[in-house]
Amino acid sequence: MRNYKEEYQRWLDSPALSEQEWAELNAIADDEKEIESRFFAPLEFGTAGLRGTMKLGLHNMNIHIIRHATQAFANVIAAEGQAAKDKGVAIAHDCRLNGRAFAEEAACVMAANGIHVRLFDALRPTPELSFAVLRYGCAAGLNITASHNPKEYNGYKVYWSDGAQLPPQKAEQIAKQMEEIDIFTGFKTCDFKTAVAEGKIEILGQETDEEFLENVMSQAIDREAVKAAADDLKIVYTPFHGCGYKLVPEALKRLGIKHLYPVPEQMVIDGSFPTVVSPNPENPEGFYLAVDLAKEVGADLIIGTDPDSDRIGIMVPDGDGYSVITGNQLGVLLLDYVITARKATGTMPENPGALSSIVSTGMARAVAEKNGVHFEDTFTGFKFMAERVASWEAAGSYKYIFAFEESYGYMMGDYVRDKDAVTAAMMVTEMAAHYRGLGMNLLQALNALYEKYGWYMEKTLNLVMPGLDGLQKMKNLMDSLRSQPPMEIAGEEVVRLRDYLDGSIFVTGLGKVDKTPFWGSNVLYFELTDGSSFIIRPSGTEPKIKVYLLIRGKGREDCQARLQKYLGYAEALGK
């Protein structure tokens, strides 16, 4: 493989570069570190596809990388045969800068390879892309999105025929193809307007929105509760300049909400996200405009969806202000509500099941099992939950009613196989109406659940390790914890360690005793004597190690004290 200087020179010498692109690369000729950061290696194609900053270079997102990845993806689809090519691919994009250009470029490469393309006419929520793959029986799907990353990023998220993100073996096939294809000369393409005129690229529009919304509304469980609360219930909504701007308000309106207050400044579609540092509903700072509006109108609930509208965050009244409900807390609230409402309305299926990720709150299992609902966990990522749902369906064992993960993602219904903030926004609203009828807001409802199921508290810590040396630092930390696992964490004895890389389960004093039901992911899961868990894994999309603290305590103050203790230990690992 060429070193970064040789790769940089190859790009400079390529006739495929425009004058503007050549000027961009020439401008960094004296910046050795910048050249290295752009050309030291390709972006790694994984099950989440590609994600990187929008610059010219091998390790960035740009038109050359889009063509390269799409040719590799087209080869993998074509290898499935003519039927797969005819079924084709659905393509969408979010509000990101270059999103439309990247989506059209990908469509041209697919069409030139004889693969039928269904391209949305403008930005759409990620769950609608998953829906389109299933609705039109596509062989695959592609979304140009970097989810909730900062404005400098874009990404290439790939779906297979089941409507879920790419399974690992398919990701490996695409990565292998990318190694074999020349980035500048190894792809086919065509003229976009000609391909549309010839029917090789089909444009999807409002008809798909309508079918998607019909499916979203089919998930409503108790419309009477909404009707009873609609005269008084006030909701503030922000799409953070992204894809939720149209379908989320429409879904809430169809549910029967009369008082919806979108944040005007953030209803403007803009991939530079001018009003927020980070368009991530996990970050409360981004809600400042929504909080101001909520105080002004006396809102009962604030809803925010991320730029591609697959994640949702909420805030609720708390004294004079508004408090965050975390991803874990909202997952538990929704799980309990779906179970309660389905039982009350007689719509609970036989053998109901619920799913969550291994890094999400242990309270989910408690809620499910206390209500007679089967519960299982999976690796982080809805593709794994989709696989589990499919296996339940194939076996005729359980019918899933709800799935979530701590990072603000929720899934319901059989029309999507990914997290879906449009459906989640509708269901959160219905739940808020239900509790309003009981004289409670969602914060009070959450406290009632703690009293019923026990006290839990969670915190995710990001140990950021940027640059080339950061990758090595991440590897060293995981290797060290694996080869010499701690016997105690912050003074609490480790009773069990699950190593999800090979599935080994170790019990203190006994050694290796068993195997986890699934494995193949770089996750270390430490179980402690107080019922808490300490979980650590490298991020799949960003240069950081993620530490998950799942606390079990006797009450709120006990949980907070335990959390602080483990937080200090986790922070020290990053130094």
Co-location of 307 and 434 in the same domain: yes
> How do residues 324-355 score in pLDDT, each as one tens digit?
999 999 999 999 999 999 999 999 999 999 99
Question: Which residue carries 């309990």 as its tokens?
Answer: 336
> How do residues 521-531 score in pLDDT, each as one tens digit?
999 999 999 99
Question: Which residue carries 């290295």 as its tokens?
Answer: 36
81 Cβ partners below 8 Å, 6+ apart?
A: none
Co-location of 315 and 398 in the same domain: yes
30 domain-assigned: no
What average pLDDT score do residues 494-509 get?
Answer: 94
Residue 240 CA to residue 149 CA, distance in Å, equals: 12
Co-location of 256 and 110 in the same domain: no
Which three-class secondary structure string do you get for 243-304?
CHHHHHHHHHHHHCCCEEEECHHHCCCCCCCCCCCCCCCCCHHHHHHHHHHHHHHCCCEEEE
18 domain-assigned: no
Sign of CA dihedral 143, 149, 150, 153: negative
Q: What CATH number does residue 561 fall under?
A: 3.30.310.50
Residue 508 CA to residue 527 CA, distance in Å, equals: 10
CA proximity to 215, closest of 92, 133, 131: 131
Co-location of 436 and 461 in the same domain: no
CA proximity to 242, closest of 421, 394, 436, 447: 421
What percent of the chain stands above pLDDT 70?
99
Q: Of 453, 478, 502, at which residue does a domain stop?
A: 453
pLDDT reading at 541 higher than 80: no
225 domain-assigned: no
pLDDT reading at 536 higher than 80: yes
The token pair that represents 204 in the structure block: 């999807």
Asked whether 196 and 75 are in contact (CB, 8 A), the reply is: no
384 Cβ partners below 8 Å, 6+ apart?
A: 357, 378
Co-location of 313 and 439 in the same domain: yes
The token pair that represents 88 in the structure block: 């084709």
- Annotated active-site residue 147? The verdict is yes
Mean model confidence pLDDT for the chain: 96
Co-location of 477 and 523 in the same domain: yes
Give the model's pLDDT for residue 338: 98
Q: Which of 14, 18, 37, 147 is catalytic?
A: 147
What average pLDDT score do residues 59-69 get?
Answer: 98
421 domain-assigned: yes
pTM of the model: 0.95
Co-location of 242 and 339 in the same domain: yes
Q: What CATH number does residue 314 fall under?
A: 3.40.120.10
Residue 440 CA to residue 452 CA, distance in Å, equals: 16
Half-sphere exposure of 272 (CA within 13 A, CB side): 1
> How do residues 234-263 score in pLDDT, each as one tens digit?
999 999 999 999 999 999 999 999 999 999
Q: Which domain holds residue 533?
A: 455-573
64 domain-assigned: yes
Please tell me the total count of domains within the chain.
3
Give the model's pLDDT for residue 539: 83
Q: Of 453, 482, 501, at which residue does a domain stop?
A: 453
CA proximity to 89, closest of 75, 193, 183, 212: 75
Q: Of 453, 484, 499, at which residue does a domain stop?
A: 453
